[in-house]
C-alpha cells in the first residue's frame, strides 16, 4: 500500500472541493477496510463528499476500490444440461412494502435465467429482503460460493447475505447511517453497485424508487442516480438498465416481514395486489430482455404455477419449510374510519415508520426484528370508505408499541369528503430504461 498518503490531507482535499486521485481513493478504502483509518477520519471525509460530491471518475474508482475490498464472484461458466445459463439480477434502492424480489426471482428463474441475488437486512423504515425471508421456518441466507453455484444451476435462483462481497461497503454504510451521510448520490451509487457488481450477475436491472418513502424524493434526483449506476455497470462490463418507480404509496397491502411473504405467495399463486404483480412482471421483462430470453412470457409462469415451483425449490434448497405456518404477531389493533368518504393518499414513509415502530425493522445493525410485526392496508387510495370500516391493522408482539406506531400513522393518510380534490392515480412505472450502456 502506498504510504505517502495521510488522512487529514485527503480530507482537506475534498473539504476544499478538489478531486481525489485514484491512488488516494484506493488508499482510503483499503486503509478503512483494514481498520487503519479511524471512524472519525472517515466520517469527516464522508461529510466532505456529501457536501462537495465526487465526479464520475472518482465515483467509478471509489466503486472499484469497494469491489476490490472483497470477493468478486463470476458465474459466466454456469451450465445446465450442457447449455450456458444467462445470469441476471435486479436491485431496488429500497421502499416500503417492497416484496418484489420474492416473486421476481422465481418468475425469472422459471423463464430459464439464473438469479444470484445478494440481499441485505432492513435498516430504518425500509424493509430488508432477508428479514422477510427469515420469517420462513429454517430459511438460511448464508450460502457458500459452492452451494450458491449449485443452487443457481439446479434451481435458477438464490437469495443470500452479501457476506464477503464488498466488505468496505458494509463498514461505510454503517458509518453513513450514523453520520447523516446516506443521501449522497455518488455514495449511494457506489454502495449499491459495488455489491451488485461483486455478486457476478452478467446483467442488472435497477428499480430506482422515487417519492416520500424512498431515498430519492424527486424524479430528477432519481434519474441522476439511475444514470450514475447505469454508467458504473457499463464501466464494469455489466449491461445495466434502470426503471424509476413510484414510492409515494406502499407497494401492495402489507408492510412487514411474514405478512409480506404471505402476499408474495399470493402473487406466486396467480393472485395478489395489482401493483405488486405489475412491477414484478415489468422488472421480469427487463431482466429477461437483458438475459436474451425475451421470448418467454413472465405472466404465464404465475398462471401455470412454474414460478411457485421455482420459489418453493429455492426456499427448500436454503433449508426453509413453507409447510410450516408463517409467524403471526401476538397482538393486533385495527384502525377504523371515523367517517365515510374516499381514502386519500397513503404516505409510504408514515406506513414504513409505523411498521418499524411495531418491531418489523431495526434501529441499529445487528438488532433482531419481529417476524410477525407490520401493517395491513385495507383501503387503497381512491377506495370508498364507510364509517367504522377497517382501514389498517397493526401487528406486534409487544403491545406497548401500538401508541408510538399509531402516532406515526396519524397524518399519514386522510379520508376525503365530497368537497376534497379526488386522488389522481399515479403511474407505478414513472420512467423506463435510460439506455443500456454496455
Considering only 49, 157, 188, 259, the residue that binds ligand URA (CB under 6 A) is 188
Among 63, 135, 191, 245, binds ligand URA (CB under 6 A): 191
Look at residues 278, 337, 290, 222 and name the one whose alpha carbon lies nearest to residue 436: 290
Catalytic position from the list 14, 61, 90, 91: 91
CB of 32 to ligand URA, least distance (A): 16
For every residue of 377-421, which 3-state class applies, written as one string?
A: ECCCCCCEECCCCEEEEEEECCHHHHHHHHHHHCCCCCEECCCCC
Q: Is 82 exposed, middle or buried (0-12, 13-18, 19+ CB in 10 A)?
A: exposed
Helix axes 185-198 and 219-235, enclosed angle (nearest 10): 40
Marked catalytic residue, from 191, 207, 212, 376: 191
Number of residues that bind ligand URA (CB under 6 A): 8
Cell of 220: 430528477
Question: Smallest distance from the beta carbon of 2 to ligand URA, in angstroms?
Answer: 27
Q: How far is the CB of 120 from ligand URA (least distance, A)?
A: 6
To the query of whether residue 195 is one of the catalytic residues in this protein, the response is yes
- Cell numbers linked to 215: 431515498
What single-letter DSSP state applies at residue 291?
T
Q: In this complex, which beta carbon is closest to ligand URA, that of residue 94 or of residue 434?
A: 94
Q: Supply the minimum distance, in Å, between the C-beta of residue 312 and ligand URA.
A: 28
Task: Please choose, out of 12-20, 187-195, 288-296, 337-345, the segment that lies near ligand URA by the rule CB under 6 A.
Answer: 187-195
Q: Rank residues 162 and 287 by Cβ distance to ligand URA and give the closer one.
A: 162
Give CA separation, 433 vs 26, 153, 286, 300, 402, in Å.
Answer: 32, 29, 9, 24, 41
**Catalytic residue flag (residue 191):** yes
Q: Which stretch binds ligand URA (CB under 6 A): 140-148, 182-190, 226-234, 285-293?
A: 182-190
Query: Can 91 be counted among the known catalytic residues?
Result: yes
Catalytic position from the list 90, 121, 125, 195:
195
> In this complex, which beta carbon is closest to ligand URA, that of residue 117 or of residue 396?
117
Query: Which residues in the 149-178 window bind ligand URA by CB under 6 A?
Result: 173
CA angle (131, 135, 137) in 5-degree steps: 135
101-110 and 274-290 helices cross at what angle (nearest 10)?
50
Does the active-site annotation cover 176?
yes
Q: What does R_g of the chain's alpha carbons equal in angstroms? A: 22
To the nearest whole angstrom, how small is the minimum distance from the Cβ of residue 124 to ligand URA?
A: 10
Distance (Å, rounded) from C-alpha 38 to C-alpha 36?
A: 7
Selected binder of ligand URA within 31, 41, 59, 93 (CB under 6 A): 93
119 is catalytic: no
Of 214 and 277, nearer to ligand URA (C-beta) is 214
- Nearer residue to ligand URA within complex by CB, 93 or 312: 93
Question: Which of 227, 241, 251 is closest to 94 using CA atoms?
Answer: 251
26, 89, 131, 169: the catalytic one is: 169
Q: Which is nearer to ligand URA, 119 or 301 (CB)?
A: 119
Q: Whole-number minimum distance, CB 209 to ligand URA, in Å?
A: 10
Judged by CB under 6 A, which of 10, 26, 87, 94 binds ligand URA?
Answer: 94
Instruction: Using DSSP, state whether 246 is helix, strand or coil.
Output: strand
- Residue 116: which of 189, 190, 198, 194 has the closest Cα? 198
Nearest by Cα to 296 from 129, 150, 110, 164 = 110
Residues with catalytic annotation?
91, 169, 176, 191, 195
Binding site for ligand URA (CB under 6 A): 93-94, 173, 182, 187-188, 191-192
Amino acid at each position: 500500500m502506498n504510504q505517502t498518503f495521510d488522512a487529514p490531507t485527503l480530507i482537506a482535499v475534498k473539504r476544499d472541493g478538489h478531486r481525489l486521485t485514484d491512488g488516494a481513493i484506493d488508499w482510503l478504502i483499503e486503509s478503512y477496510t483494514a481498520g487503519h483509518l479511524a471512524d472519525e477520519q472517515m466520517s469527516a471525509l464522508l461529510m466532505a463528499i456529501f457536501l462537495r460530491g465526487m465526479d464520475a471518475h472518482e465515483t467509478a474508482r471509489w466503486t472499484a476500490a469497494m469491489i476490490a475490498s472483497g470477493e468478486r464472484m463470476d458465474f459466466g461458466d454456469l451450465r445446465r444440461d450442457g447449455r450456458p445459463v444467462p445470469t441476471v439480477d435486479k436491485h431496488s434502492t429500497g421502499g416500503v412494502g417492497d416484496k418484489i424480489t420474492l416473486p421476481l426471482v422465481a418468475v425469472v428463474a422459471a423463464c430459464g435465467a439464473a438469479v444470484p441475488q445478494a440481499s441485505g437486512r432492513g435498516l430504518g423504515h425500509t424493509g430488508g429482503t432477508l428479514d422477510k425471508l427469515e420469517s420462513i421456518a429454517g430459511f438460511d441466507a448464508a450460502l457458500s460460493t459452492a452451494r450458491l453455484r449449485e443452487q443457481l444451476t439446479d434451481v435458477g435462483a438464490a437469495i443470500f447475505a452479501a457476506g464477503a462481497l464488498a466488505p468496505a461497503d458494509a463498514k461505510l454504510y454503517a458509518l453513513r447511517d450514523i453520520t447523516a451521510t446516506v443521501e449522497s448520490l455518488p455514495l449511494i451509487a457506489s454502495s449499491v453497485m459495488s455489491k451488485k457488481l461483486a455478486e457476478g450477475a452478467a446483467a442488472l436491472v435497477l428499480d430506482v424508487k422515487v417519492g416520500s418513502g424512498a431515498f430519492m424524493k424527486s424524479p430528477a434526483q432519481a434519474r441522476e442516480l439511475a444514470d450514475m449506476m447505469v454508467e458504473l455497470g457499463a464501466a464494469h462490463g455489466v449491461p445495466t438498465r434502470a426503471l424509476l418507480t413510484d414510492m409515494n404509496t406502499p407497494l401492495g397491502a402489507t408492510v412487514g416481514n411474514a405478512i409480506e411473504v404471505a402476499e408474495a405467495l399470493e402473487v406466486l399463486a396467480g393472485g395478489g395486489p395489482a401493483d405488486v404483480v405489475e412491477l414484478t412482471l415489468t422488472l421480469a421483462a427487463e431482466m429477461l430482455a437483458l438475459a436474451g430470453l425475451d421470448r418467454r412470457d413472465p405472466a404465464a409462469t404465475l398462471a401455470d404455477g412454474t414460478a411457485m415451483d421455482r420459489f418453493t425449490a429455492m426456499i427448500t434448497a436454503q433449508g426453509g419449510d413453507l409447510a410450516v405456518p408463517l409467524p403471526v404477531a401476538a397482538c393486533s389493533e385495527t384502525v377504523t374510519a371515523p367517517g365515510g368518504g374516499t381514502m386519500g393518499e397513503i404516505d409510504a414513509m408514515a406506513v414504513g415508520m409505523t411498521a418499524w415502530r411495531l418491531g418489523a425493522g431495526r434501529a441499529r445493525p445487528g438488532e433482531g426484528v419481529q417476524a410477525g410485526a407490520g401493517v395491513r392496508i385495507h383501503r387503497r387510495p381512491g377506495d370508498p370508505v364507510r364509517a367504522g370500516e377497517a382501514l389498517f391493522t397493526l401487528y406486534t408482539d409487544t403491545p406497548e408499541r401500538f401508541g408510538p406506531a399509531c402516532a406515526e400513522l396519524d397524518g399519514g393518510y386522510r379520508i376525503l369528503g365530497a368537497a376534497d380534490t379526488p386522488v389522481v392515480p399515479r403511474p407505478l412505472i414513472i420512467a423506463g430504461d435510460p439506455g443500456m450502456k454496455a
